[in-house]
Structure 1
Amino acid sequence: MTRRLIVCGLLVLAGVTACGSKPSDNGTQTLPTSTPTTASSTPAANSGAAVPAVKRCDSTALKGQVDPTDAGAGNRYGKFVVTNSSTAPCTLNGYSGFQLENAAGAAIPTKLERKADPGPKALTLAPGTKASANLHWGVVPSGNEPVEGPCQPEPAKAIAIPPDETVPLTMPWTFGPVCSGGRIEISAFYAS
């Protein structure tokens, strides 16, 4: 009797609930059933069809612009805004590259510094929706920059590369020279 109780106890721990009952004639045991729960009741989830992956936002899917937001005491603030101009959703996560250029396409000194507020967060942009990255730069000469005239060459455009991509977006830059050697602070993208 003690042996049977130990065996039944072990079977209970193993998940068998029919201890002491006689197996059916065909040698199989019927276990209790329950209705399975599913995480999704969409036809694709139940049919086994693969859900298409959302691709990263690249320069073919995005349109960019720089919008001013505030100015004061030699500081300038703006937003680098991208819009999903494609017909499909795309994902964006992280920081953009950013380079100032003159009208001929020659690089102008740009020192991009990443700021952690806000930090990287995965975003899915539906067609027509936007994401922004905060920008901050100075217009007061520093170090050995000239105090009369522009502190740096005048940019005509900004070239920005979306996160994890290699082909840039080009947009006009109408905010004058960027002092401190072209220092621009940039945040990660966030929904806007």
Structure 2
Amino acid sequence: MTRRLIACGLLVLASVTACGTRTPENAAQTLPTASTSSSTPSSTDSSAAPAPDNPGAADQAVKRCDSTTLKGEVAPTDAGAGNRYGRFIVTNSGTVPCTLNGYSGFQLENASGVVPTKLERKADPGPSQMTLAPGGKAAANLHWNVVPAGGEPVEGPCQPEPPKASAIPPNETAPLSVPWTLGPVCSGGHIEISAFYAA
């Protein structure tokens, strides 16, 4: 009986050793390993996030050029066979940039008031958005003639000679005064004008 109990005890002990005891060799195989993933976002995730809009960007919008900012002049460029060509040049005399896009109004004047002016817009070049930095310039091409037409006198000036013109910048209502030193404009004051372009 005693031998049987000892044999059973040895058998139980051997079974426990084989099935339940962890050794340094099998410990790594039976224990789960810890996860190496990090809970913090990767650098790729953080860089993919969109950058926030610049606060106050709407307040920094560039305003249109107007008559308080622009200074104007008319410079002749060519002449021949009764035709005259020039450029109406405006300069941003302000301290901040301003935008310009389109055609200028243009009315010849003298001391008595308006001088007949028929302005015709030409499509070359057409309107184009531009930003004039302080001191920046833009120009519009002008074309007129000095040959009397219709009932205009052939002796003397065909029309009253204007010393100046009132020019209204695009999308504005207040004019700026521009000197005119290029003589009378015939055909009832007919002037062709292009849109402004960078000069």
TM > 0.5 between the two?
Answer: yes
Query: What amino acid maps onto 2:142 in structure 1?
Result: L
Give, in whole Å, the separation in 2 of the partners of 1:37 and 1:85.
42
Q: Which residue of 2 aligns with 1:101?
A: 109
Q: How many residues align?
A: 155
| Mapping of residues 1-192 of structure 1, within 5 Å | 33=45, 35-36=47-48, 46=52, 48-51=54-57, 52-104=60-112, 106-192=113-199
- SS of 2:187's equivalent? helix
1:34-92 Cα deviation digits (max 9, x unpaired): 73276xxxxxx746312210000001110001111111110000000000000000000
Query: What amino acid maps onto 1:49 in structure 2?
Result: P
Give, in whole Å, the separation in 1 of the partners of 2:53 and 2:130.
28
Q: Which residue of 1 aligns with 2:11?
A: none
Instruction: Tell me if the contact between 1:75 and 1:138 (Cα under 8 Å) persists in the aligned partners.
Output: yes
1:128 Cα deviation from its structure 2 partner: 0.3
Query: What amino acid maps onto 1:130 in structure 2?
Result: K
Give, in whole Å, the separation in 1 of the partners of 2:162 and 2:184.
6
Unaligned runs of 5+ in 2: 1-40
- SS of 1:180's equivalent? helix
Instruction: Tell me if the contact between 1:103 and 1:157 (Cα under 8 Å) persists in the aligned partners.
Output: no
Query: What amino acid maps onto 2:54 in structure 1?
Result: G
Q: Which structure has greater helix proportion?
A: 2
Give, in whole Å, the separation in 1 of the partners of 2:54 and 2:108.
49
Instruction: Tell me if the contact between 1:102 and 1:154 (Cα under 8 Å) persists in the aligned partners.
Output: yes
1:103 Cα deviation from its structure 2 partner: 2.6
Unaligned runs of 5+ in 1: 1-29, 39-44
In our comparison, the structure showing a higher alpha carbon Rg is 2
- SS of 1:35's equivalent? helix
Give, in whole Å, the separation in 2 of the partners of 1:124 and 1:145.
42
- Calculate percent identity across the aligned residue pairs: 73
